Copies of this chain bind each other. A is one copy, B any other.
Amino acid sequence: MINAAGRDIPEYIEGYGKTVPYQGAFAMSGRPTAIVQASRPKSAVRGESKLCASIDEVLDKLDLHDGMTFSFHHHLRNGDYVTNMVMLAIAKRGIKDIHLAATGLFACHDPLVPLIEDGTITRISLSTIGRGGIAKAISAGKLKTPCVFYSHGGRACAVENGRLHVDVAFIAAPTADPQGNMNGCTGKSACGCLSYNHADAEHADRVVAITDNLVPYPCCPAEITENFVDYVVAVDSIGDPAGIVSGATQITTNPDRLAVADLCAELLDKAGYIKEGMNFQTGAGGISLAVAAKIRDRFLAKGIRGGFGSGGITSYFVDMLHEGLLRALWDVQCFDQPSIDSVANDPAHMVMSGSHYGSPENKGCVANSLDAMILGAFEVDTDYNINVITGSNGIIMSAAGGNPDTAAGAGISIVASMLMKKGPTCFIKKAVTTVTTPGETVDAVVTDYGIAINPLRTDLLEALKDSGLPLVTIEELQKKGEELGDVYTAPSLGDKIVGVVEYRDGTVIDVVRQVL
């Protein structure tokens, strides 16, 4: 079937099942939904301790069997020790055919590649992945079934509505008490909030907190609470602080890139988005953060202040909050220490769950209140589709994250990038390798060679026609790339489907094929 993003999706995918093709970004909006909790094997027994002496003692209590789904969160990012610790201990017990339902996986999880190769892990689903062994193994077709790529909001939605049923959620908890109240913002492995794990904590059959900072009851603040937690285990260390704090949080100093950021701010301003109460999100990449800085400058120049900043939070947003240039932050992930400190102490720095952030099936998500979103992209095509999953060589390098959620929700969603990347390759293609975010939700592409506005946004084109902005068509940008020596050659892909890209509503927007 050709879906609404123009991709040919098989009706049935081995190891995934029957597909529902993507039907348009808002085709499923407003439908009835269900929140499902199949069952909890056991309620609390007063006086019965939840504390276990070791991971092995926890595993003894979990009645493990082949085919189970275990979930992990990625707030410790590339410093996470917990996923390996638990999965290797499970593997040692000979459990097979495991679904590793991570919110994200990174290079630090390379020790799990042998478990993919030997059939211990046969299913993986995630909404974030970093470059590394697991991404390569999936691209090479080593995983028995296709990896399922969710958006952050889509994953939370799938956990809530039961499509992604988690048998056991293992939660890396930088601080926890013996009853399982926990937070991520204190302790030697502090990572900030634990948002992506809220749905798992609330809906998994069993929940295990793994901490390296066991404190007396009650853990305070308590972001995830004891009423959701079955077992607590203290270990020496849950992560490497050097890997927990992301490196992707420096504003670019490159003048050409700063010029793109400035053009982006100018577009926002001319289109009327920079106004009192403006709500916005930027990624943590160099140009994106520079756009945040440019918006800040314009707030100061106009004497106005914004509403909320959201997303993965960095010190730039924390500073704007504390300067009074934003009224509040909605946080799903803290990228640096100032953000961690802020979420621990400032009531205006609010934690949102993954569902609250971006689920299309609840009664309203924060993404829907964004005025402006600056999106990341490996590739954009002339239909404005975004690819943030595979490189132009077809190899998995990342995952959707909040890209589709915020693009769908924001008043204006913008990709800001230098036209030419290393290679040289042009990031605008005739067709993206993998559709992650559908073009109908992407409003503008801002480059050093001009701004392309999605023709669907006739309102924007009308508003900007006399703006003096360097408006071009996306086709012109794509051709400019060719002129500038784009060396793109289509990747050599096999027939085997190694990844299924679900749009946030659970429909299939694209598949990822094996790289030969």
Which residues of chain A have a CB within 8 Å of any CB of chain B? Answer: 26, 28-48, 50, 179-180, 203, 207, 216-218, 220-222, 225-230, 277, 279, 307-308, 327-328, 330, 344-345, 347-348, 350, 352-353, 355-356, 359-366, 368-369, 408-409
Contacts and interface: CB of A to CB of B under 8 A. Distances in A.
B32 A35 contact: no
Q: Which of A46, A50, A352, A364 has the most chain B CB atoms inside 10 A of its CB?
A: A364
Contact of A42 (B32, B44, B308): B32
B360 A43 contact: yes
Contacts of A366: 218, 226
B43 A408 contact: no
B40 A26 contact: no
A31 B43 contact: yes
B50 A30 contact: no
Given A36-B37, A356-B225, A362 B43 contact: yes
A218 B307 contact: yes
A226 to B, nearest CB: 4
A144 to B, nearest CB: 31
Contacts of A308: 217-218
Contact of A364 (B32, B221, B226, B368): B226
A44 B39 CA distance: 27
Contact of A39 (B33, B217, B220): B33
Contacts of A221: 347-348, 350
Given A32-B41, A35-B37, A216 B277 contact: yes
Among all A-B residue pairs, the 8 with the closest Cβ atoms: A35-B37, A227-B362, A226-B364, A44-B364, A220-B328, A30-B45, A227-B356, A43-B361
A353 B363 CA distance: 20
A32 B230 CA distance: 12
A125 B337 CA distance: 48
